[in-house]
Structures are given as structure tokens and as C-alpha cells.
Amino acid sequence: MTRAGKCSQDERAMLIEINPVPDGSSVTTNFTYENYLKTSDDESYKLLDGELFILPAPNTAHQYVTMKLGARYDMFIEERRLGVGDSAPTDVLLSESDVGQLNLMFISSEQDGMVTSANVTGAPDLLVEIGSDANAERDEILRRNLYAEHGVKEYWMVDPDARTITVLILGRDDNGEVTPHRNGQSLNSRLLEGFSVNLDEVFRCHPGLGEAEEYLICQAPCKSKA
């Protein structure tokens, strides 16, 4: 199965065959966005500096955190008409050799021309990545530098297992302020002025996150109404 609407009939006949490799592994190098579009829809990929990586399927904790954080994030953006909020699996095309599907993103109204029906072409103002993949040291440094180089202003790294969100203020000359937020603390955004969310609201009430006692407390009101 190919990426719908992105390959011509002739191109589909030349789909790239990729042998199975462990999730998160690089499967080939010197890839471009044109090559990326010919990969199968049966897998998710990212393209970093011309290296194609297979992405692991997100687990339930990842999806829960994406939903909780995304709901607060989207509401804030829409109520203030700040621009466009989007999420994976939208392709973000930073360059011909750097393509990803970011969990959450914000594109300001000044830049909303980069949003097309097919993808986002250019650097969003703010990117959010969720999951253990965001904590691989080599990958983290590469992406942090890459996002800064292309003009991303703010980057959030969310680790559901550690129950932390690290906010990085990026710049072209240096990667500046780094602020870790832990469970119980409130996250504030420099770019989205006025946005705030307590990490308890993001990480609590999922059986795969935190202590069992917290999950039972969250479930108690629901059970008492049953």
C-alpha cells in the first residue's frame, strides 16, 4: 500500500523495498523526500539528514499524553486565533533530506502559507515530540540542532515514562534556554504567551503512567456514579 495521492502509477511500480529492521533503526542513507514518498504506508518513517528511520508504533501511554496535551494546546491556539495547530501523521518537510511526522506542532498565522493539503513545508514555530524516541541522545542532539538551524523557535520533549516535559528555546546561533518540568509543576511557553498546563493533568489517570494509587483515585468518581 502506497502513500495515497502521492505517487503516480509509474512511481508505484518502482516502490522502494526495505528489509525488516528493528524499530528506530536506520534502514538506508542518502534518501530524499522524493524517495520518502515512495515508501509503504504500512510503516511510519522519518528522514534525518538523508537517513531513513522506521518509527515504532506508539503505545497507549504515548497516545494518551498526546490526546491530553493536544486538547489543551489546540484550545489555546484556536481561542486566541494564533495560527494553526497540527499533529502526526502530517509530514513536516524541513528540507529535501529532513522530513518527519511530529506529534504536535504550531504554525503562527504569519507563517500559515506553509500549510498545504499534502504537508507542512518549512519549520513550524513550535514542535512537540512525545515518547522514548525523543530521549535517544544522538537523535536528540541531531534533531535539536536541525530544528534550530531551520528556524524552529521552541521545542518540547515529552517523556511519559519519566513524566517530564523539557522546553527548549532554540535559535540559529545557539540552542539557548533549557527548562525541565516535572510532575506536579506547570509548563509555561515563551512562544505561546499565557499558555500553562500542570503536568499532573497530562500524566495522571492512565494505567500505564505513574503509581497505581493515582489511577484508582482518578477512577473513583466514575465508579461511584455507576
> Angle 201-203-207 (CA atoms, 0-180°, nearest 5)?
120
Q: Looking at 14-28, 75-89, 106-120, 169-183, which range is the least confident one?
A: 14-28
CATH architecture of 60-225: Alpha-Beta Complex (3.90)
Sequence spans of domains, the chain: 9-55, 60-225
* C-alpha to C-alpha distance for 48 and 206, rounded to whole angstroms: 32
What are 83-127's pLDDT values in tens digits?
999 988 899 999 999 998 889 999 999 999 999 989 999 999 999
Three-state DSSP state, 190: coil
Contacts of residue 57, Cβ cutoff 8 Å, sequence gap at least 6: 23, 44
Three-state DSSP state, 185: coil
